[in-house]
Structure 1
Amino acid sequence: MSLAALIGFLALAGAAAYAQTLTGFAFGLITMGGVGLTGLLSLPDAAMIVSVLTLVNATQMLLKGWRDVAWREFAFVMAASIPMLFVGYWLLEWLADTQADLLRLLLGVAIVVSSLQLARKPEPLARPSGDGSFVFFGAVAGVMGGMFSTAGPPLVYHFYRQPMTLVKIRETLVTVFALNAVFRIGLVVVSGNLPPASTLTGLLAIPSVMGATYAARRWPPPVPAPTMRRIVFVLLFLSGVSLAAPAVFRLLGVSP
């Protein structure tokens, strides 16, 4: 990775960590979307680095927040998420080798759908959802986490509808992301698909992520939460469209 690319990646990871700390998610979406648009890294290598950075961000957030985790719901989510993470990782490796444009299209669509979901506030439920619903959304999150290290959107949609405090929702989501990251990193190591040494310089973003996480907690912006969600929505939507559209043209054999 060149010096210019490394600086760009550090800035991207810092911005993503800042947004994640304020909203409870979006780290993987912002980072992977930025990488897909700029071509700083291959998507499989970027997903590996994002997993490590997600773990750093989550660990920092959970040092004080782990007591607020909804452990029952967490257990049902993880029971389905971990097995499906393996499926998602297999799909990533297969598509990266044979269908790079299809992989970019899937990432773009995932980002667009996630941004549209972010744009609307889920209607809260009067009663907690059944255990099976947490298993279902955990499975979907596992596939997305295995492919792109972006397990957040389906779980965010489901958890933010639950009659829980915002603190409990945020800390439960972050704990899910942390454990998913641990399993995904282990899967990459066991499969022997570690990125080359030059790409691993992206791990220098760890101080950037830690600094942005601390800054977001210590000095949150003077912006109302709904406004922050809209800003993140616009950025994600534009990046998803910009990523998916060229892939569609190439798959159809049409010059954009």
Structure 2
Amino acid sequence: MTIEQLLPFLLIVAFGTYVQTVTGFALGMIVLGCVAQLGLASVTFTSVIISLLMLANGPIALRGNLQHLDHKAMLWSLTGLFPALVAGVLLLNYLSSDFTQMLQWLLGATIITGGLFIMLKPEPLPQRSSHRSFAIAGAAAGIFGGLFSIAGPPLVYQLYRQPLSLQTIRLSLLAMFLVMNIIRLLVLGVQGLLTLEMLWTGLICIPVVAAFTLIGKRYPPPFSDTTMRRLAFALLIIIGISLVISA
């Protein structure tokens, strides 16, 4: 990646990290959507970088807040996520070489879906969903996470429908995304798909991720979480539509 490509890439990472820290999600969708739209790097390359970035964002955001996690929701979601994640990574290898246009269309559709879920602002359910419901959401998240390192839409929709505090939802999402990306990197490493360029680019991005995670924790936006989600996902929907049309 050249300097001309790296500078806008870092700006996108900074914005995505801040949004993820204050909402609990969106880093993968923002970075992957913007990078693909600007043609800065391939989907496969960027999805690996996102997984590396989560290794910095997750621990910093979760530090001192582990008591707020919903362990049951995480357990059942991750139970469905792990096998689906492996399947998604294997599917990514197949689509990347033979179905580039389909991969771009799927990326755009994923981003649009994630944006619409939040823009619809679903009201919390009167009671907690079943364990099976969390496992199904986790499986769907695993497929998206394996393909694009975007596990957000199914898990975000599932957790934001639950009668839980926003702090618990946000931190539980961050924790699950951290675990998912650790597993994803291990699978890619076993397959020999991690290159020196990927690792070097991720290393360059880590200080930016660390800085904007701390900024997000200490200086949240002066407006409500709902407004922040609407602004971020309105942008994502526009990016997703553009990707689908170009594909």
Q: What per-residue deviation string (whole Å, max 9, x for no partner) do you get for residues 22-42 of structure 1? A: 111101000110111112111
- Alignment of 1:4 with 2:4, yes or no, is yes
Q: What per-residue deviation string (whole Å, max 9, x for no partner) do you get for residues 106-163 of structure 1? A: 0001001111111121211111111100110000001011001111111111111111
Q: Classify the secondary structure of the residue corresponding to 1:197.
A: helix
Identity %: 38
What pairs up with 1:13-162 in 2 under 5 angstroms?
13-162=13-162
| Residues 1:61 and 1:199: Cα distance change in structure 2 (over 3 Å) | closer
The alpha-carbon deviation at position 55 of structure 1 amounts to 2.2
| Residues 1:233 and 1:101: Cα distance change in structure 2 (over 3 Å) | same
For 1:224 and 1:193, the matched residues in 2 are separated by 41
For 1:117 and 1:100, the matched residues in 2 are separated by 26
* Contact 2:82-2:180 at 8 Å conserved across structures: yes
| Residues 1:164 and 1:65: Cα distance change in structure 2 (over 3 Å) | same
Moved more, 188-197 or 237-246: 188-197
* Contact 1:6-1:202 at 8 Å conserved across structures: no
For 1:35 and 1:202, the matched residues in 2 are separated by 14
What pairs up with 1:182-221 in 2 under 5 angstroms?
182-197=182-197, 200-221=200-221
Structure 1 gap ranges (5+): 248-256
For 1:44, the aligned partner's letter is T
- Alignment of 1:229 with 2:229, yes or no, is yes
For 1:181, the aligned partner's letter is N
Moved more, 56-65 or 79-88: 56-65
The alpha-carbon deviation at position 82 of structure 1 amounts to 0.6
Normalised TM-score (structure 2):
0.96
Q: Matched residue pairs, number?
A: 247
Q: Classify the secondary structure of the residue corresponding to 2:64.
A: helix
| Residues 1:198 and 1:214: Cα distance change in structure 2 (over 3 Å) | closer
* Contact 2:128-2:162 at 8 Å conserved across structures: yes
The alpha-carbon deviation at position 199 of structure 1 amounts to 7.2
For 2:87 and 2:197, the matched residues in 1 are separated by 26
* Contact 1:13-1:208 at 8 Å conserved across structures: yes
| Residues 1:180 and 1:199: Cα distance change in structure 2 (over 3 Å) | closer
| Residues 1:110 and 1:236: Cα distance change in structure 2 (over 3 Å) | same
Normalised TM-score (structure 1):
0.93
* Contact 1:24-1:170 at 8 Å conserved across structures: yes
Q: What per-residue deviation string (whole Å, max 9, x for no partner) do you get for residues 68-103 of structure 1? A: 111112111111101100111111110000011110
For 1:17, the aligned partner's letter is T
For 1:94 and 1:57, the matched residues in 2 are separated by 29
For 1:202 and 1:172, the matched residues in 2 are separated by 24
The alpha-carbon deviation at position 11 of structure 1 amounts to 0.6
Q: Classify the secondary structure of the residue corresponding to 1:126.
A: coil
Structure 2 gap ranges (5+): none
CA root-mean-square deviation: 1.3
